[in-house]
Amino acid sequence: MALFAFSFWALWPYLLAIFAAFILIFGFMLVSAIFSVWLERKVAGRIQDRLGPTRVGGKFGWLQTLADGIKLLVKEDIIPTSADHMLFRAGPYIALVGSFMAFLALPFGNGVVAREMNVAVFFMLAVMSTEVFGIILIGYGSGSKWSLFGGMREAAQMVSYEIPMALCVLVPVIVAGSMNLNAVALQQKNGIWNWYIFHDPFTFGAFWTYFTCAMASCKRAPFDLAEAESELVAGFHTEYSGFRWLSIFMAEYGSMFAVSGIANVMFLGGWSLGLPFEMTELFGSFLGETWGTIVGNLINVTVFIFKGWFLVFVMMWVRWTLPRLRIDQVMMTCLKYLVPISCVLLMGVSLWLLVVPQFIQAYFNWLMFGVCVALLVVLIRQWYSWASSVPSDAMPGMWRSIGVPGYQGAKR
Amino acid sequence: MTFSGEPQATKLGRLRLPAKQRLPMDDLQPLLFWIIALMMGTCAVATVVTQNIVRAATWLLFTLAGTSGMFFLLGADLVGTIQLLVYVGGTLVLVVFGVMLTAQGPFINMKTSGAEWAISAVVGILLLSVLVIGTSKIGHVGPPEKSAAARFQPTYTLASQREVRDRLELERGRGSIDEDQYYLAIARLDKEQVAQASYSAVIGRGFIGEPVGPVHEETVGKSNKTILVRAHYLLPFEIVSIHLLVVLIGAAYLARAKRRRRVAA
């Protein structure tokens, strides 16, 4: 029968290629997680006015995460007696696989993608919901009430936040006319003003709404109700230790980069540095097509990774700045605010493309870009003219009376 | 002259090309098929056999993920993704309801009686035989076969396809080609497009009412004039969405908090 007709010897180049792609993506996920955990500790430290890790691996504690990793690997692997053993074991891997699968469709450079798909962004959102399934199994299978509460909260949160997240992704999809991430990123080449965040007011709004939902979907503070250590010990992963806990963590940091990658490609030009040329085309013009693609894409991939890490940094920044919401507030934020906002954005962008005259659409991104740059300049000027804290020898109220502009602290 | 937008059914025997024309891909696909199929089969059996409701849901998840893997293998990315999104979400809700509504102890087990086993075995065997008989009559399913050489020489790229279609439309409007020539050309384009496995765009355009289905003959009016039309799927799509709306309203009705009638004191 024809279905049995395969020979291993014809296959091995393919299998080798698959294995290489797997190692590349998984290796990136691992390195990215190691770096992000280190970054998280440093950012948390700085925001809380302390230093963070300083000892392991030189001045900045570079190797702190590696040391943590080794510690976790040699930790005792405990499975509670009351746990459902199969689900307890399977949960972390389901979460990790869901997070890993998202990277299959994410382009890191011009054509640097494991599998280019027509429906790449849709695919990424779909497989990332598999990760949530893993989290809920973890919560349920632990046989602990803390974990179960965490898992159920995660289920409720995911089911509601998926809606505004998908609607916000649809906004640039409508503008681009494609769900192919590679194609969408290429449409935004040749300059920062072509990025879809500046395309019209609705895509601008959609970026911020999407990023809020993305933070919630990665269960990051202020939406980290699934772990909420002040009420639930550690939420869904209370009972985990050692390597399984490590893979839960890797899944979380992996999906943080993945949602940042979507934000990058859909709104922030993908691997574009904002310069008025595309790297592979630039290098292709004087190095020839093959070498141009290779050299250009090396730069593209670096830019993309650092842009992704920047958005991950913003998530950390928010996490260590804002307090955690209550579960009812989390649900209210989504259902009363984010869902209507994203619906308005979706309607708005459709009408914008249909109704607004073509010449306004063609030049509006310049206006948006100009306004954003102006706002940024004003903001930075304000930052440097504000007194961010009261000098230690000043009395409350006195600072205001001597007229330091922008100082708000003494108004109470 | 016959018009058929559908790819001609090819026989199972043609699936294996002569060794010279074969690509590594041709060997990889059956291997992947067997891996996924075995996984799906095992998980489907486990879904039925296990008595713990959440474990059953987990096995079901693996089965459905395998189904979407099958779609990806056939090049139907959109359908595979929808399968993943809808059914992972669906299974998730199943787990949540399984836990919330049927929990009496920490882990829930379902007991199955002998009679239930017998009935389900009969139903299962009947369904299986329907499937086996049905599939044996279909023949080859999936993207139409192309020779290894032809696979790398597409007549039109996807972008230029759109242009060719527009051009044909224009020519027909001008009257420089007649209806038969038009539909013949379109049918050829369709084959090309199906072969390039860009199903998602075609499916999407079909759902918003653009005629993308296979060309078929239809008689209209009293004069029994035969015209060639293409199917579109706006109506089925709308019917499904209305159906979903009805289900939603029904669920909201059933789940809403019952108000107690005030009893006069």
pLDDT tens, A19-50? 888 898 899 998 998 889 889 988 888 888 88
Q: Is B155 within 8 Å of chain A by CB? A: no
How confident is the model at residue B190, as a pLDDT?
A: 65
Q: Does A355 contact chain B (CB < 8 Å)?
A: no
- Residue among B23, B25, B31, B199 with most chain A CBs within 10 A, to mutate: B31
Q: What class does CATH assign to B22-138?
A: mainly alpha
With tokens 């669906």, the residue in question is: B90
Could you read off the pLDDT of A244-284 as tens digits, one per residue? 888 888 888 998 999 999 999 999 888 888 888 777 777 77
The pLDDT value recorded for residue A371 is: 92
Q: Which residues of A touch B88 (CB under 8 A)?
A: 126, 129-130, 133
Quick one: what percent of chain A has pLDDT higher than 90?
Answer: 19
Q: What is the pLDDT of residues B200-211, one digit of tens each?
A: 666 777 777 777
DSSP symbols for B167-234: HHHHHHHHTSS-HHHHHHHHHHHHHHHHHTT-HHHHHHHHHTT---S-EEEEEETTTTEEEEEE---H
Rounded to a whole number of angstroms, the CA Rg of chain A reads 24
Are residues B198 and A118, on separate chains, in Cβ contact within 8 Å?
A: yes
Among candidates A5, A127, A133 on the partner chain, residue whose Cβ is nearest the Cβ of B30: A5
ipTM higher than 0.90? Answer: no
For the residues A373-383, what does the mean pLDDT come to?
87
Q: Which residue has the higher pLDDT, A404 or B96?
A: B96
Specify the length of chain B in residues: 265
Asked if pLDDT for residue A321 goes beyond 80, the answer is yes
pLDDT at position A403 is: 55
Tens digits of residue pLDDT in B50-71: 877 778 888 888 898 899 988 8
Predicted confidence at residue B150, as pLDDT, reads: 44
Measured between alpha carbons, how far is residue B25 from residues A275, A312, B7 in Å?
39, 38, 21
Q: Is residue A188 very low, low, confident or very high in pLDDT (cuts 50, 70, 90)?
A: confident
The sign of the CA dihedral A244, A245, A246, A251 is positive
Give the residue-averaged pLDDT of A388-412: 55
CB B24 to CB A4 under 8 A?
A: no
The pLDDT of residue B4 is: 37
Say yes or no to pLDDT of A60 above 70: yes
> Cβ distance A338 to A164 under 8 Å?
yes
Q: Which of A227-231, B18-22, B235-239 has the lowest mean pLDDT?
A: B18-22
Angle, helices A8-47/A242-267, rounded to nearest 10 degrees: 90
Interhelix angle for A8-47 vs B24-49, to 10°?
70
Rounded to a whole number of angstroms, the distance from the CA of A23 to the nearest CA of chain B is 19
Report, as an integer, the average pLDDT of A43-67. 83
DSSP class per residue in A77-125:
----TTS-HHHHHHHHHHHHHHHHHHGGG--SBTTB-SS--TTHHHHHH
Residue spans per domain, chain B: 22-138, 154-192, 198-256
Quick: pLDDT tens for B151-184. Answer: 444 444 445 566 677 777 777 777 777 777 777 7
- Measured from the Cβ of residue A221, the count of other Cβ atoms closer than 10 Å reads 19
